[in-house]
Structure 1
Amino acid sequence: MPIVESVGRFPAQTGVASQPAAPDHHVAEVLDKANRRSQTYGVSVHEEPDYTSPSRGHMSSAMDENRFLFQHAAPIMETLYGQIANTHSMVLLTSAQGMVLHSLGDNDFLEKASRVALVPGTDWSEKTKGTNAIGTALSEEEAITVHGNQHYMSANQSLTCSCSPIFDPHGQVIGTLDVTGDHRSYHQHTLALVRMSAQLIENHMFAGSFPKAVRLHFHSRPEFLGTLVEGIAVFSPEGRFISANRSAQFQLGLSHHALQAHTFSSLFNLPISALFELFSGSASIPRQLGMHNGVSVWCRTEIKPAGPWSHPSLAPVEQEGGATPPSARTATPTQSRCKPHLSSLQYLDTGDAQIKSVIQKLRRIVDRDIPVMILGETGTGKDLLAQAIHNDSARARMPFVAVNCASIPETLIEAELFGYEEGAFTGARKKGAIGKIVQADGGTLFLDEIGDMPRHLQARLLRVLQERKVSPLGARKDVEVDVTVVCATHKNIREMISRGEFREDLYYRLNGLVVRLPALRERTDFEVVVKKVLKSLCEGEPHITISSDVMTLLASYHWPGNLRQLHNLLRTAVVMVDTDGVIDAEHLPDDFLEELSIANNAPLAVEASVIASAPVAIANSEEVFTDGVRLQDVTLNTMAQMLRIHRGNVSAAAKALGVSRNTIYRKKNLLPPDLLN
């Protein structure tokens, strides 16, 4: 639920600011304990702020460690800042150790904050800053306001700070959310706003976790289901307690730690099988349950079996117009057309250390609902890796839907991704169309070249990933979706963020795990890769091999197009190969040989029968044989010999050498006349 719906717009401060009431007995005790801790830590009351900037590597490492927190908190921070804009304040997100990770604020106050080192990268734990809202909220694991002279260090007494800890889905403190402002701009409702925002972050994190568990949403009043204050408890299909949000803990009257000893049966007085029966008709209709403490609550549930739940024999139900609704969609043979031997991460492990490391990381997070971002040059096999991730997951029998964000015209990508209803725009298909995201429901959505997604659509995609709902163009209601997201790009997204071309919050939502595929020229398993690609091209055909000279030639090339270029090259060679089934230089495309020659200034393809002393391996033109002859001279002599043999017929000489006629014409000018006689 949006913050603005639960609390009114935070008023801009004009005139005399509100003054905080005297702290109650509990808050006074908390502040007293914090001050005693500050003394124990050796913090000086008159200590100057530490302006030391963290190293880029240190900050980057901290952001990587807290990516899960940031990707869920960033959108809510923006909404929260919208409520406090123009109040001489700022919103801060910190790690569980008190390090500031991200901040948003009014320009005038950001300058003031920098004077007290309230900037990303600085440590605001009690050990370094004494009593302050961030450090004390972390120490006490509860929300608190520290105002003016309640700060331990005198340098911070011009501030008023309201902070709430943020708990992860497993009940551990993962960070804090803080609003800090000028002490003259204190407002009594700030802490409530921060608390609610922190709880919203927790619920968003919770919603994306435990994808295969039984999730129960409950509240004593049915109108509060689906709101910020609903309780959410998660159980295994057997009824074992897994986790619960703070509202659920409050309603059940038990802490997260105490709940670990319980089951669904002990908390709700019936076996979990009865819950399945209760919601067998419709999970969307609230039902009443009695809790162990005698309180009756209204419930909804989300039940997601641990494995693929659709039986392959069940035929998909089609809507009019041929569209299959996500609720009825099952896997079909056409949804996994990848050849069996190309389908797994194991198949892609061909001996290169970098690839092996990537695969080991991916195996650890398969089926953990962690988004994957694949980096690498164009053609390095990012699409193959995405397909392998899908095929090794529990979603393998469900759809794998790939979207190339660079290949779809900007004017159509919104409709392609999100779908549209009939009449949504001029020229739309009569009965509308289901978008790619909905097509991927239950399976994997692969967003290739995500760096090319228009910025105005990035916010919509972020909403889909956060809320697991899609709003098709022209539709009156959202469509719920369950997808695992894998994205890929060859661009530097961090640089795009700094230029304002890519949303930072979307970036941290997409890169749960970042892996980088090496370029083909960097791989140590080149020969294995070539043979595997060749084998895939020869399926059902006679076995074809590559001559050792050509393998050496291929290994020396820089492969700007990577695997895609290699695949296309070998596909052409397979068609051109002779009956002996061996790929030689004469079967390689002319433009490839020309480029190889120009790049390395070396002989092109030289048949061993023509000149035994001229190796096919790449060498610099100034390199000499043991007898002092330059390779360039050998090249010209061989070309002259071919021209003499074929009586000056350039086409015949070019074919014999495996080069284009243009190469002969270009090199012919370098030939001394006596060589042609």
Structure 2
Amino acid sequence: MGTLENGVHAEQIQSALTGDAAAQSALVASWGRSMRLYGLDPEEGTKPDVLTEQELKEARERLGSLIHTAQASLDRLYSAVGGAGCCVLLADKDGVPVDRRGYEGDDATFYKIGLWTGAVWSEQREGTNGIGTALAEQRALTIHRDQHFRSKNTALSCTVAPIFDHRGRLMAAIDVSSARRDLTEDFVRLISFAVVDAARRVEAEHFRLAFPKARIVLANGAGEPMGEKAMSALIAVDDDDLVVGASRSARQLLGLTDELLSRPLPATDLLGQHSNAELDYANAERGAIQRALARTGGNVSAAAEHLRISRATLHRKLKRFGLS
């Protein structure tokens, strides 16, 4: 399927923006931003803007270690979809691809379209498109063919998932794009699962590297099903069993903010369960009481004196530990 004729596609967009769908559809809302907020023309046929080599170098440097962290996930994703004529892109938060995987035989097609490192695919510059709109709305999505704003992009199907850093802030996005005419919607759905999985893997690895000395805990909220959000809800806990970091999903799931995380926050209070430190302390206390009783031949008063606590306190502890 080639690109739609400019006039036809522009008319479809204009009709959607003036119809009932405008108040209901996220896609039409993006078309509206493209036309009214950014002042773009769906019939504009020029290629995306491209950064200079120095600007692209600086964009890569701003992402820091994420490009290296993402390599294995990008390779795995490309091995799954590359044979179907898809390319894989890692874009920064400004919509600029900084890394790419693609079959050499398809490179000329994607280069002509502009799906290449250094091209600017923000929604503000290209209108509704996979990379730009996923970043603008901060959610995984697919922009399939004539859902694109610009007529020149309607041969593309682009599936994208955003990547958030260890503080829950938008950092990058992974995109799988295809210009194949025979790409079915069922296959697009399979691609969507793979793209989201790759993005979550990169996020999780980046989170672990951000807290190298912490214990990483999977935190699902009370009563929450273990869906995508719960499975990527990560908490970083230090040696004192205090929370020192939380992923975006964990922040959403547990109502965490930067302000809450700036103060000491016991993991047990957050997760609603006994932490390892508390269990270790309880076991140590139980052992100390048992040793005191053994040394005093089971005499509670003598054991309490040995432990330097009152007899009443020792009785309460004996009851709590099931030793009375």
Say whether the fold is shared (TM-score over 0.5): yes
Answering whether residue 167 of structure 2 is matched by residue 170 of structure 1, we say: yes
Look up the equivalent residue of 1:199 and give its one-letter code.
R
Q: Give 2:140's match in structure 1, choosing from 125, 132, 143.
A: 143
1:145–1:161 Cα contact (<8 Å) kept: yes
Answering whether residue 189 of structure 2 is matched by residue 209 of structure 1, we say: no
Answering whether residue 201 of structure 2 is matched by residue 200 of structure 1, we say: yes
Shifted more, 236-245 versus 87-96: the winner is: 236-245
1:131–1:153 Cα contact (<8 Å) kept: yes
Look up the equivalent residue of 1:182 and give its one-letter code.
A
State the distance in 1 between where 2:159 and 2:259 align.
29
Question: Structure 1 residues 131, 51: CA separation in 2 closer, same or farther (over 3 Å shift)?
Answer: closer
State the distance in 2 between where 1:239 and 1:157 align.
52
Q: How far does residue 270 in structure 1 lie from its aligned partner after superposition?
A: 6.1
State the distance in 2 between where 1:129 and 1:257 align.
33
Answering whether residue 161 of structure 2 is matched by residue 158 of structure 1, we say: no
Per the alignment, residue 100 of structure 1 pairs with 97
Question: Structure 1 residues 233, 51: CA separation in 2 closer, same or farther (over 3 Å shift)?
Answer: closer
Q: How far does residue 85 in structure 1 lie from its aligned partner after superposition?
A: 2.1
Q: How far does residue 34 in structure 1 lie from its aligned partner after superposition?
A: 1.1
1:92–1:178 Cα contact (<8 Å) kept: yes
Q: Give 1:36's match in structure 2, choosing from 11, 32, 38.
A: 32
Answering whether residue 234 of structure 2 is matched by residue 232 of structure 1, we say: yes
Instruction: Write the mapping of 1:542-557 to structure 2, written as runs, cut at 5 A.
Output: none
State the distance in 2 between where 1:199 and 1:156 align.
27
Q: Give 1:129's match in structure 2, choosing from 126, 129, 139.
A: 126
Query: Secondary structure of the equivalent of 1:189?
Result: helix
Per the alignment, residue 191 of structure 2 pairs with 190
State the distance in 1 between where 2:193 and 2:23 align.
15
Question: Structure 1 residues 26, 255: CA separation in 2 closer, same or farther (over 3 Å shift)?
Answer: farther
Q: Give 1:264's match in structure 2, choosing from 267, 280, 283.
A: 267
Q: How far does residue 54 in structure 1 lie from its aligned partner after superposition?
A: 2.8
Question: Structure 1 residues 98, 51: CA separation in 2 closer, same or farther (over 3 Å shift)?
Answer: closer
Q: How far does residue 265 in structure 1 lie from its aligned partner after superposition?
A: 4.1
Per the alignment, residue 46 of structure 1 pairs with 43
2:236–2:243 Cα contact (<8 Å) kept: yes
Q: How far does residue 36 in structure 1 lie from its aligned partner after superposition?
A: 1.4
Query: Secondary structure of the equivalent of 2:83?
Result: coil
**1:51-103: CA deviation from partner (whole Å, max 9, x where unpaired):** 65432211211111113220111221011000012211100000011111011
State the distance in 2 between where 1:208 and 1:26 align.
43
Give aligned pairs, total.
248
Look up the equivalent residue of 1:105 and give its one-letter code.
G
Q: How far does residue 263 in structure 1 lie from its aligned partner after superposition?
A: 4.6
Q: How far does residue 42 in structure 1 lie from its aligned partner after superposition?
A: 1.3
Query: Secondary structure of the equivalent of 1:91?
Result: strand
State the distance in 1 between where 2:125 and 2:207 align.
31
Look up the equivalent residue of 1:268 and give its one-letter code.
L
Look up the equivalent residue of 2:198 and give its one-letter code.
S
Q: How far does residue 33 in structure 1 lie from its aligned partner after superposition?
A: 1.8
State the distance in 2 between where 1:27 and 1:175 align.
29
Query: Secondary structure of the equivalent of 2:84?
Result: coil
State the distance in 2 between where 1:163 and 1:141 align.
10
State the distance in 2 between where 1:48 and 1:32 align.
21
Instruction: Write the mapping of 1:268-347 to structure 2, written as runs, cut at 5 A.
Output: 268-269=271-272, 274-278=275-279
Q: How far does residue 201 in structure 1 lie from its aligned partner after superposition?
A: 0.3
Aligned-residue CA RMSD (Å):
3.1
Question: Structure 1 residues 270, 158: CA separation in 2 closer, same or farther (over 3 Å shift)?
Answer: closer
State the distance in 2 between where 1:26 and 1:159 align.
23
Instruction: Write the mapping of 1:69-80 to structure 2, written as runs, cut at 5 A.
Output: 69-80=66-77
2:160–2:176 Cα contact (<8 Å) kept: yes
Q: How far does residue 161 in structure 1 lie from its aligned partner after superposition?
A: 0.5
State the distance in 1 between where 2:237 and 2:195 align.
29
- TM-score norm. by structure 1 comes to 0.34
Per the alignment, residue 309 of structure 2 pairs with none
Q: How far does residue 229 in structure 1 lie from its aligned partner after superposition?
A: 3.3
Looking at secondary structure, tell me which structure has more helix per residue.
2
State the distance in 2 between where 1:126 and 1:267 align.
38
Look up the equivalent residue of 2:84 and give its one-letter code.
T
Look up the equivalent residue of 1:112 and give its one-letter code.
T
Question: Structure 1 residues 100, 27: CA separation in 2 closer, same or farther (over 3 Å shift)?
Answer: farther
Question: Structure 1 residues 120, 277: CA separation in 2 closer, same or farther (over 3 Å shift)?
Answer: same
**1:25-53: CA deviation from partner (whole Å, max 9, x where unpaired):** 99962212211111110111011233654
Look up the equivalent residue of 2:29 and give its one-letter code.
K
Query: Secondary structure of the equivalent of 1:86?
Result: helix
Query: Secondary structure of the equivalent of 1:145?
Result: strand
Query: Secondary structure of the equivalent of 1:98?
Result: coil
Query: Secondary structure of the equivalent of 1:208?
Result: helix
State the distance in 2 between where 1:229 and 1:200 align.
11
**1:347-391: CA deviation from partner (whole Å, max 9, x where unpaired):** xxxxxxxxxxxxxxxxxxxxxxxxxxxxxxxxxxxxxxxxxxxxx
| Higher RCO (Cα < 8 Å, 6 or more apart) | 2
**Larger radius of gyration, structure 1 or 2?**
1
State the distance in 2 between where 1:268 and 1:127 align.
40
Q: How far does residue 232 in structure 1 lie from its aligned partner after superposition?
A: 2.3
Query: Secondary structure of the equivalent of 1:139?
Result: helix
1:49–1:116 Cα contact (<8 Å) kept: no
**1:242-285: CA deviation from partner (whole Å, max 9, x where unpaired):** 322355456x45366696486524313468xx53143689xxxx
**1:187-208: CA deviation from partner (whole Å, max 9, x where unpaired):** 2211111001000000111111
1:243–1:256 Cα contact (<8 Å) kept: no
- State the identity as a percent: 26
State the distance in 1 between where 2:63 and 2:127 align.
24
1:244–1:256 Cα contact (<8 Å) kept: no
State the distance in 1 between where 2:48 and 2:31 align.
23
State the distance in 2 between where 1:244 and 1:204 align.
13
Q: How far does residue 218 in structure 1 lie from its aligned partner after superposition?
A: 5.0
The answer for unaligned runs of 5 or more in structure 1 is: 1-24, 282-677
